[in-house]
């Protein structure tokens, strides 16, 4: 069939492809960035109807102002001791990232992903949620494990796939699994954790348990079908779950506009499902803690799910396989108007008279030395560069609770063939 000619009296259609504001080499100017005032957003009752919270999906919950002073109804008024623990957890996470990044560059592991600039989003969750609550993370929530006290050495062993790896080398580096810490196995498939978290929450509610669930994904992953399936089930069954979206502005080589940021906020995606939705300054750990605490109380009170968008910035590459200098301006990181979460909490504590530069420098030194020592212990058990650290027979184990006959047969056949080959 011949193609119909364009109508001469009508405006031609145009195809829109979103473009980021700044590309490599561009000067960065966030002068028109509207952060809103710290303390200006109202804190609704935890039982509020989602329809009455529409404005919260378009505003930005902030507690700390530019001088580090806390304002408004979302101020959680945490004790200085709790704030110092949160500060150390963020510093420890950053030191861990730096060590593992260098290890990857040295060939000791194949892959790593840093969360630099996003630490507040995970550390706040670890402090706001109960230890028994189940977390379904994406691949940049290592701070959850660190703040929950999971052994750093075990995390390193998993990254190195060495003899001490509790996952026996079966997972990609950084895809931790820690049931004892309420940390579900990280998956490389985007957003699979969303329906899993909602399912856990529904099961918890159906049997009268008290544990809630929380899950995380990046803003780009909200385009996945699993995200929307999870939102439907969460809304229909009022699942006690917190749906966290980390909007760090960039997926791998792709900015947030490709996922829909030009048209609306990511928090607004919850409105159509009838889910209470909030948008928060992801570099303000007090604000992050406050909204998570609010959402947890809402879930425990059987008032339904909450979707939270954390407006933050990915300061590093997507992973060690990514080079952000190829697609974004080098000035973005330093110009980001919401600052650095560690610096902002440090500034707040100093303003309270509960911290100072000397203690901060001592803390940085202490966590760096701790990470160094843990790294040496982990490397003594082997690195990926050293080759296979687990027996071949482990590939047939842990698939079933009790190993079936056919796997036993295959394992025996493999061992016989390797023996015959002199391996």
Domain map (residue ranges) of the chain: 50-386, 391-423
Query: Domain 50-386's class?
Result: alpha beta
Distance CA 231, CA 306 (A): 10
pTM: 0.95
* Per-residue confidence in pLDDT tens, the chain, 423 aa: 567 777 788 899 999 999 999 999 999 999 999 999 999 999 999 999 999 999 999 999 999 999 999 999 999 999 999 999 999 999 999 999 999 999 999 999 999 999 999 999 999 999 999 999 999 999 999 999 999 999 999 999 999 999 999 999 999 999 999 999 999 999 989 999 999 999 999 999 999 999 999 999 999 999 999 999 999 999 999 999 999 999 999 988 889 999 999 999 999 999 999 999 999 999 999 999 999 999 999 999 999 999 999 999 999 999 999 999 999 999 999 999 999 999 999 999 999 999 999 999 999 999 999 999 999 999 999 998 888 888 888 888 888 999 999 999 999 999 999 999 998
């Amino acid at each position: 069939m011949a193609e119909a000619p364009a109508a001469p009296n009508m405006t031609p259609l145009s195809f829109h492809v979103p473009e980021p504001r700044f590309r490599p080499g561009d000067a960065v100017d966030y002068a028109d960035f509207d952060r809103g005032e710290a303390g200006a957003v109202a804190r609704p009752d935890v039982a509020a109807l989602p329809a009455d919270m529409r404005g919260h999906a378009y505003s930005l919950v902030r507690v700390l102002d530019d001088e580090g002073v806390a304002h408004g109804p979302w101020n959680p008024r945490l004790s200085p001791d709790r704030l110092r623990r949160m500060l150390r957890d963020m510093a420890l996470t950053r030191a861990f990232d730096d060590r593992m990044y260098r290890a990857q560059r040295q060939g000791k592991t194949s892959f790593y992903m840093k969360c630099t600039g996003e630490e507040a989003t995970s550390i706040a969750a670890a402090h706001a949620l109960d230890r028994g609550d189940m977390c379904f993370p994406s691949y940049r929530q290592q701070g959850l494990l660190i703040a929950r006290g999971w052994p750093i050495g075990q995390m390193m062993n998993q990254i190195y796939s060495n003899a001490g790896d509790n996952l026996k080398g079966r997972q990609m580096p950084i895809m931790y699994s820690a049931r004892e810490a309420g940390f579900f196995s990280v998956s490389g498939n985007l957003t699979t954790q969303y329906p899993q978290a909602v399912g856990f929450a529904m099961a918890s509610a159906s049997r009268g348990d008290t544990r809630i669930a929380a899950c995380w994904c990046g803003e780009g992953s909200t385009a996945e079908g699993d995200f929307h399936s999870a939102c439907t089930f969460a809304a229909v069954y009022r699942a006690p779950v917190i749906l966290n979206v980390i909007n760090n502005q960039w997926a791998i080589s792709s900015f947030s506009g490709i996922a829909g940021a030009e048209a609306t906020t990511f928090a607004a995606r919850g409105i159509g499902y009838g889910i209470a939705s909030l948008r928060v300054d992801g570099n303000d750990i007090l604000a992050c803690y406050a909204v998570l605490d609010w959402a947890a109380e809402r879930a425990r009170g059987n008032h339904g799910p909450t979707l939270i968008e954390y407006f933050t910035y990915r300061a590093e590459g997507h992973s060690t396989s990514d080079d952000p200098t190829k697609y974004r301006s080098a000035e973005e990181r330093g110009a980001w108007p919401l600052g650095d979460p560690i610096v902002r909490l440090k500034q707040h504590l100093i303003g309270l008279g509960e911290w100072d530069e000397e203690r901060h420098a001592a803390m940085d030194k202490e966590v760096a030395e701790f990470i160094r020592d843990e790294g040496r212990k982990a490397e003594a058990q082997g690195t990926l560069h050293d080759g296979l650290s687990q027996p071949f027979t482990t590939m047939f184990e842990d698939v079933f609770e009790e190993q079936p006959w056919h796997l036993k047969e295959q394992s025996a056949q493999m061992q016989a063939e390797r023996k015959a080959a002199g391996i």
